[in-house]
Amino acid sequence: MALTGGEIKLDRGHDGRVAYLTLDHGKYNIITWETRQVMADRFAEIDADDDIQVVVIRGEGEHFSSGGDIAGFMEVEPIDFTDLGHNVTAPARSPKVVVTAVDGYCFGVGFELALASDIRVATERSEFALPEMNLGMIPGSGGTQRLARLIGLSRAKYHVLTASRINAAAAKDWGLVADLAADRAELDEKVERLVTKLLGFSPLAARTAKEVLDRGVDAPLYSGIELERKAYAMLRSSKDFAEGVAAFTEKRAPKFQGR
């Protein structure tokens, strides 16, 4: 069953272990002010559900998202912008592994939403951009910072300052996306294969790896390595690690429980 609200549909698959969030607001899946908050609400629900291991974000129709409701921003009080981006960046704070499937346009806040996820897969026709300079504005939902960390400061400056688009081939070459698909059908197939692979791992190990990577990347190398050591030691006492070792020695598939 799908739950709707704020132009975001929530479906569950793989025996409830995967949450599918689908942007569904017209041809270009415009993200309104209300949609931003619904995204946060959806993730609050997902994060509280221990059965869910993986989240997939995708767009209905021809395009992932052309960005935000530009005219609608003029109806929002300036003080409300102080928390801008906290809601659509919920994927980055989620303990679940978040995969974003991109087809077509991925612009503005839609791009920032994708940047906040863990893994991005796109079609060869996809285009990425932060076009806010065209409006006399800058990205406000993590775009400048996450893009610079993913593709390097020099490239990020060029694409933010000139509002230039990044084609799919460049996105793959720069590590912005993990994989490319020829079309939407192949994109769906690749994402499902990725989801199946992710479901085969320990949810506890996946959550820990995500946290170590995210927190360590902004820390000095020594601090990141120390964080990794302590997380490794913590996982040593987990039931999933014991199960993984037993499955390896017994030459069978492990049955992880997330504990």
Judge whether 228 lies within some domain.
yes
Same domain, yes or no, for 118 and 239?
Answer: no
CATH of the domain at 207: 1.10.12
Query: How many Cβ atoms are within 10 Å of 225's Cβ, its own excluded?
Result: 13
* Cα(96)–Cα(118) distance, integer angstroms: 9
What percentage of the chain exceeds 90 in pLDDT?
87
Judge whether 241 lies within some domain.
yes
Same domain, yes or no, for 212 and 111?
Answer: no
pLDDT, tens digit, for every residue of 210-238?
999 999 999 999 999 999 999 999 999 99
For residue 203, pLDDT over 80 is answered with yes
3-state helix, strand, coil in the chain (%, to 5): 50, 15, 35
Judge whether 259 lies within some domain.
no
For the chain, what is the domain count?
2
Same domain, yes or no, for 116 and 187?
Answer: yes
pLDDT, tens digit, for every residue of 28-47?
999 998 899 999 999 999 99
Same domain, yes or no, for 191 and 223?
Answer: no
Judge whether 256 lies within some domain.
no
* Cα(172)–Cα(122) distance, integer angstroms: 9
pLDDT, tens digit, for every residue of 134-185?
999 999 999 999 999 999 999 999 999 999 999 999 999 999 999 999 999 9
Structure-token pair, residue 216: 């360590």
Question: What is the SS3 assignment for 164-220?
Answer: CCEEHHHHHHCCCCCEEECCHHHHHHHHHHHHHHHHCCCHHHHHHHHHHHHHHCCCC
Same domain, yes or no, for 80 and 158?
Answer: yes
Same domain, yes or no, for 115 and 234?
Answer: no
CATH of the domain at 153: 3.90.226.10
For residue 6, pLDDT over 70 is answered with no
- DSSP reduced 3-state for 96: coil
Closest residue by Cα to residue 204 from 230, 253, 238, 249:
238
Place of tokens 């549909």: 9
Same domain, yes or no, for 104 and 207?
Answer: no
Same domain, yes or no, for 20 and 136?
Answer: yes
Structure-token pair, residue 169: 């081939």
Same domain, yes or no, for 232 and 246?
Answer: yes
Structure-token pair, residue 220: 């000095």
Same domain, yes or no, for 85 and 32?
Answer: yes
102 touches 114 (CB < 8 A): yes
Judge whether 227 lies within some domain.
yes
* Cα(171)–Cα(100) distance, integer angstroms: 14
Q: Which residues pair with 167 in a beta bridge?
A: 127
The range of the structural domain enclosing residue 149 comes to 7-200
Same domain, yes or no, for 138 and 58?
Answer: yes
What percentage of the chain exceeds 70 in pLDDT?
95
Judge whether 165 lies within some domain.
yes
pLDDT, tens digit, for every residue of 126-140?
999 999 999 999 999
pLDDT given at position 3 = 42
Same domain, yes or no, for 207 and 185?
Answer: no
The residue-averaged pLDDT of 80-88 equals 77
Query: How many Cβ atoms are within 10 Å of 46's Cβ, its own excluded?
Result: 21
- Looking at every residue in the chain, the average pLDDT score rounds to 93
Query: How many Cβ atoms are within 10 Å of 4's Cβ, its own excluded?
Result: 11
Q: Would you name the residues annotated as active-site residues? A: 112, 132
